[in-house]
Amino acid sequence: MKPIKVGLLGLGTVGTGVVRIVEGHQDDLFGQVGSPIRIEKVLVKELEKARGIAIHPERLTDNAWDIVNDPEIDIVVEVMGGIEPTKQYILESLERGKHVVTANKDLMALHGPEILAKAREKGCDVYYEASVAGGIPIIRTLMEGFSSDRIKKIMGIVNGTTNYILTKMSQEGAAYDEVLKEAQALGYAEADPTSDVEGLDAARKMAILATLGFHANIALEDVDVRGISQVNKEDITYAKRLGYEMKLLGIAERQDDQISVVVQPTMVSKSHPLAAVNGVYNAVYVYGEAVGETMFYGPGAGEMPTATSVVADLVAVVKNIKLGVNGQTALMPFKEKKLKTEEQIAYKNYILLHVEDKAGVLAQITQVFAKFEVSLESVVQQPNAQNPDAEIIIVTHAGSQANMKKVLAHFEQLDVVKSIKSVYRVEG
């Protein structure tokens, strides 16, 4: 029986996992798709490099065009990462009628609509489950499992590096810089951790999830992003005292077809399931009008979890080949994008103020909130032997982002307010 031939772009951590699964699970794969799946060629940077998996040298190439131009290759699996020349390889593969499976969140967040449009034009499949949340099948779930529902909110921990850092800070009382160095030593964080710790990686993933969940083309620049580099031990300590855990959350919301997407450090109530997601694990919480609340939890990265998602997509493509339905499953955005204004975006806030320690200060503070129509859930004056000023901790009810900005701007001009130490969103 003729095998389905695959070209693999990249043999790093995930690529190695893909080879292990495809070659180690041939019987299972054959049982599902009715054909052998063969990895025909593999793109590598160095042909002579020692590898953790045995591959015949004749199957290796250092020229991607050997795969893209090979008429015998049916499917291109891209796990090399980056934008260029990766985008060119994928578009040219589709132009030549090859189906594509990719784990590239950056590419899909920035150029997904263009790639999917080319796939539809050429009658090809593009699957990208592994681009978000590693081994969690969240993309397929949004496309298929929620196809009959109307999603109102997607909220999740979609970056394992930042979740590891915040977990260590919470559980061990460690400082941010100290935990970041440990994460780099363990391989959880890159030498340049900017994409992770400043929220850019999570923002790309949330753009993909919001596009799928709300059927509108949400671009990376539509995501309001704030990272964790300014989170300190004091913030973590106060969060725990108030019954919260600090998490970097991606939050996409839709109300009356108006959409907002943010990534920011958030105080999550300990009663919420996301508060218990620790270490490098990911979790995505989805609210549907019909189904209610659901949560998807699992490893967000790593060789085998991510490779499992890639191979699952590979199996889906082969099944489509057998059924003759390639190019019909891509879900193109079909709704007009309407982004919420700052007046329409509303949520609870935690604020830590250092103020003059004298009578009447608290009254002035609460008057500012009243002036800009932000109601208060709790106000606590916290003694701190290390600080001669008074510390006031405030948790608001849901207030508009626009009004909160006015409150904070007013505090900057108020003589009794020495500093606005921290401001965080509160969820759950």
Beta strands, E only, 92-161:
99-102, 126-127, 151-157
Q: Strand, coil or helix: what is 117?
A: helix
For residue 118, indicate whether it is catalytic.
Answer: no
Q: Are the beta carbons of 19 and 53 closer than 8 angstroms?
A: yes
Tell me whether strands 37-43 and 4-9 are parallel, antiparallel or unpaired: parallel
Q: For the chain, how far is it from start to end, CA to CA, in angstroms? A: 55
Q: DSSP class of residue 203?
A: H
Tokens 């060119």, residue located: 88
C-alpha pair distances (Å), 262 with each of 114, 248, 382: 24, 10, 30
Alpha-carbon torsion, ordered 230, 236, 238, 239, to 10 deg: 110
Q: Strand, coil or helix: what is 65?
A: helix
Residues in the chain: 428
C-alpha pair distances (Å), 55 with each of 23, 52, 196, 306: 10, 10, 33, 20
Alpha-carbon torsion, ordered 67, 73, 79, 83, to 10 deg: 60
Catalytic residue chosen out of the listed positions 41, 105, 205, 348: 205
Beta strands, E only, 226-309:
244-255, 258-269, 281-288, 292-299
Which amino acids are annotated catalytic?
205
